Amino acid sequence: MHFFSNIMLIIVVIILLMLNSACLVMAKQTSASSTMPVIKDQYVIAEGLKLHYVVSGVGQPVVLLHGNDGTLQDFTMSIFNNLSTKYQTIAFDRPGHGSSETAWYKMLPPQKQASILHSALNKLGIIHPLLVAHSWSGALALSYALEFPQDLSGLVLLGSVAYQTEQTDPKLIYYVAEVPLIRSVAAFVFMITGKSEIKRQLEVAFLPDSAPQPYVQSFLASLFRLSQIKAAACDVLTLNPALKKISSRYSNIHMPVVIVTGDNDKTLSPEKHSYPLHKAIAQSKLIVVRNAGHELQFTHPDEVMSAIDLALAPPLKACIPGQVQQ
């Protein structure tokens, strides 16, 4: 009986933790939603997956791609509104993130996500867009440029990953994402225990600036769902193999590319990603934002807007590898 009582006590504690976590998420969602611009949610089916996106504005299409763990709110809570006054602006939830579906029976590496995005844009009639990619989505955008160069106007890469480094190596815990049942259990445990670690990572990403609290609340609300956690883990596991395949081909990219990085980026070191990528793509433009970290669309929106304008300026003049705009 004593053993049975202990088991019942553990179950009750777990249920209380679940309810507490759910209440926190609902409260955060309510608080965050009040700060969000009113934008109509839309969906498109691409390669069998239902993708969530928002669109506003007219003119040259600019497609915004969030990093890992994120959602399209990374842009709707930063530059989306201002950008849509000049361009047709489209932000997607990548597969498995936010309100977009994914294929749980298989991994979707950056190259596959590029193919899915290409299909979605074709269905929407989006012609020659500029891709603006943050962090993990740099691998997606670079894959897109290599596979569908004739269908792009160019790239703007914000604090983007480009090479396999120790910062891109998955921790051991991520490998449970390869085992369907175990990954669901692990994701559930993370929902209960992982909030403090995620908040710490957000603080590091925004350094030397402070993370805006409405965004932190929205980020935590969107992340602490089983589907989001599993998608984030799959993104981590597929990144290094993808980078290994595509990084040797960067010199084959011949389109306007503007690389924007913060000199104080603690999440993805510019010395290991943005700087060597600039050297590999001969005609690229490198913009180093001083005293800036990883979340440039929030902390330095004017510089990001200027980079987008530059990428679309006819023509973007080739610059000498190593030349840096400060």
Q: What is the token pair recorded at 79?
A: 């530059």
pLDDT at residue 320 in the model: 35
pLDDT at residue 30 in the model: 36
Angstrom CA distances, 253 to 68, 273, 285, stand at 24, 16, 13
For 97, residues 6+ apart whose C-beta sits below 8 A from its C-beta are: 66, 69, 70, 71, 222, 228, 231, 232
pLDDT at residue 38 in the model: 58
Q: What proportions of the chain, in percent to the nearest 5, are helix, strand and coil?
A: 50, 15, 35
Single pTM value for the model = 0.82
Q: What is the token pair recorded at 99?
A: 């309100």
Query: CA 297 to CA 210: how far, in whole Å?
Result: 13
DSSP β-ladder status, 285-289 and 257-262: parallel
Q: Phi and psi at residue 177, in whole multiples of 5°?
A: -65, -15
Q: DSSP string covering 62-108, please?
A: EEEE--TT--THHHHTTTHHHHTTTSEEEEEPPTTSTT----TTS--
Task: Report the Cα–Cα distance between both ends of the chain, in Å, rounded.
Answer: 71
Q: How many CB atoms lie within 10 A of CB 196?
A: 8
Query: CA 223 to CA 201: how far, in whole Å?
Result: 13
Nearest CA-CA partner of 263 in 232, 229, 299, 238 = 299
Q: DSSP string covering 168-219, please?
A: GSPPGGGGGGGSHHHHHHHHHHHHHH-HHHHHHHHHHHHTTSPPPHHHHHHH
What is the full per-residue pLDDT of the chain (326 aa) written as tens digits? 333 333 333 333 333 334 344 433 433 333 333 344 457 999 999 999 999 999 999 999 999 999 998 999 999 999 999 999 999 999 999 999 999 998 877 889 999 999 999 999 999 999 999 999 999 999 999 999 999 999 999 999 999 999 998 878 766 656 565 556 665 666 566 656 667 778 888 999 999 999 999 999 888 877 767 778 788 888 999 999 999 999 999 999 999 999 999 999 999 999 999 999 999 999 999 999 999 999 999 999 999 999 999 999 977 544 433 344 54
Q: What is the token pair recorded at 217?
A: 């609340």
SS3 46: strand
pLDDT at residue 4 in the model: 32
For 18, left (φ over 0), alpha (ψ -120 to 50), or beta?
alpha
